[in-house]
Amino acid sequence: GSFMMVNSSGRASGQKAHLLLPTLKENDTHCIDFHYYFSSRDRSSPGALNVYVKVNGGPQGNPVWNVSGVVTEGWVKAELAISTFWPHFYQVIFESVSLKGHPGYIAVDEVRVLAHPCRKAPHFLRLQNVEVNVGQNATFQCIAGGKWSQHDKLWLQQWNGRDTALMVTRVVNHRRFSATVSVADTAQRSVSKYRCVIRSDGGSGVSNYAELIVKEPPTPIAPPELLAVGATYLWIKPNANSIIGDGPIILKEVEYRTTTGTWAETHIVDSPNYKLWHLDPDVEYEIRVLLTRPGEGGTGPPGPPLTTRTKCAGKIFFFPGSIMRGCAVAKTGHPLAFL
């Protein structure tokens, strides 16, 4: 098996020694157990022992288990319940950190990989990926098999090692409990990785990494295309195929208003082309397209506007002395005829 003995005498504070286990590629439930030992002549702790679990050759991150400030009465057993399976792989790293002025020994021995669940450290069920839209709340649910204790510490660990405390824990039954945590890392489009970690009296449980996928609601790149113009209608093509942001598109809407007014209306579009009805003659309109993807907050900002004017309401006959501006005729004493 693996063994590490560190003499902290004469060491500077923070000086480290590492024991790296071989890379593990497990495809079934298993348990890693080990024994550790802290000794000192003056009964002061010689330092700290940290354990890291590095997945797929990624960053070492923060410890998933650690002990410090103690002197043990002989060897103490601890377990690691790691729920990372093939095709993913991981490596366990033991780290001894010396404390200046506290001579003694820190030791690790009898590191074993066992083909059965841990007896004390909880095993996590698979952590599922979470997808949200920018600015929305993201919540992970960590579910573990084992008994929950008020003394257990649960947290969410990001790929880069940043830890977030799990706020809500509930017992599902006598063999299972769950915890939830909201993640604030949704301000912009991104993909990040998180895993659940629990520290119990018997050791630590570590889940697989799951992805937090933050999607950006879609916005059309181009304005709507004008196909036909009438006095009371406008035919348009939404031009919603080229977008900024993420799909899939589950809803298309047309928002329109007069360029001089404060009101706006929105219509759902369910065909390649769309006709805006019941418009006023000779009025300038601004038309934009709204797109929506799945999930809360999935509607993106309106796309670029199409600005266009409806036609006149009918034919106008002019008489001498009449002046025409658009569809309006200013009278100068002569009658006007409208058809």
Q: What is the pLDDT of residues 84-143, one digit of tens each?
A: 999 999 999 999 998 877 788 999 999 999 999 999 999 999 999 999 999 999 999 999
Q: Is the pLDDT of residue 336 over 70?
A: no
Least confident of 86-100, 150-164, 267-281, 306-320: 306-320
- Return the CATH number of the domain spanning residue range 219-310: 2.60.40.10
Burial of 186 (0-12, 13-18, 19+ CB in 10 A): buried
Inform me whether the pLDDT recorded for 75 exceeds 90. yes
First to last CA, the chain: 101
In this model, does residue 31 exceed pLDDT 60? Answer: yes
Residues in contact with 265: Cβ distance below 8 Å, sequence separation at least 6, in sequence order: 255, 256, 257
Range list for CATH 2.60.40.10 in the chain: 123-215, 219-310
> What 3-state DSSP class applies to 237?
strand
Q: What is the pLDDT of residue 338?
A: 37
Domain boundaries for CATH 2.60.120.200 within the chain: 4-114
The pLDDT of residue 182: 85
User: Which pLDDT score is estimated for 339?
Assistant: 36
DSSP string, 261-318: -S--EEEEE-SSSEEE-SPPTT-EEEEEEEEE-SSTT-BPPP-PPEEEEPPPSS-EE-
For residue 144, the surrounding DSSP H or E stretch is strand 138-145
Give yes or no for a contact between 214 and 191, defined as CB atoms under 8 angstroms apart: yes
Mean pLDDT of the chain: 88
Q: Which CATH class is domain 123-215?
A: mainly beta
Instruction: Pick one of 3.40.50.620, 2.60.120.200, 1.10.1240.10, 1.10.40.30 as the CATH number of 4-114.
Output: 2.60.120.200
The pTM of the full predicted model, rounded to 2 decimals, is: 0.82
Return the closest-CA partner of residue 47 out of 5, 99, 101, 11: 99
Q: Name the band, by pLDDT with cuts 50, 70 and 90, for residue 81.
A: very high
